[in-house]
Amino acid sequence: MKKLILILMISFLGITVQAQEKKNKNAKYEVSVNGNCDMCKKRIEKAALSVKGVKSATWHIDHQDLHLILDENKCTVDQVQQAVAKVGHDTVKFKATDEDYEKLHTCCLYERKQ
């Protein structure tokens, strides 16, 4: 009887640990991204959607924020921010390189914060 209880306890513990590792398939995030215009909007959203696992990406010009829905099993918010920075737009965690920033159209050259 003791062995049966021990086996059940170990099984229950294994199920509990496994359930804690499961990540959200529809996690929602909001990330600040610098930009100016509709061209920026298209570029930012395209870069975000290029990351495998991103289901939705909408950048709002007036608030300078990117609303994301992503599968945390496939990608992270940091990966999305890196992709956006790679196309020339600074995010909260990642700053675009000067070379990537200078490739932007003149109307897209936002004021960079030091």
pLDDT digits (tens, 9 = 90+) for 66-76: 999 999 999 99
At 9, the pLDDT band (50, 70, 90 cuts) reads low
- Taking 3-state DSSP, the helix, strand and coil percentages for the chain, each rounded to the nearest 5, stand at 45, 20, 40
Tokens 């959203």 -> residue: 45
pLDDT score of 12: 64
Sign of the Cα torsion 61, 65, 66, 67 reads negative
Q: Distance between CA 53 and CA 32 in Å, rounded?
A: 19
71 inside domain: yes
53 inside domain: yes
8 inside domain: no
pLDDT score of 24: 86
> How many secondary structure helices (H) and strands (E) does the chain include?
4, 3
Express each pLDDT in 30-41 by its tens digit.
999 999 999 999
9 inside domain: no
- Domain range for residue 100? 24-108
More confident residue, 23 or 54: 54
41 inside domain: yes
Coil, strand or helix: which one is 24?
A: coil
pLDDT score of 38: 95
Q: Distance between CA 44 and CA 79 in Å, rounded?
A: 13
Q: What is the CATH number of the domain that holds 78?
A: 3.30.70.100
Count of domains for the chain: 1
103 inside domain: yes
User: Would you say residue 26 has pLDDT above 60?
Assistant: yes
55 inside domain: yes
pLDDT score of 22: 72
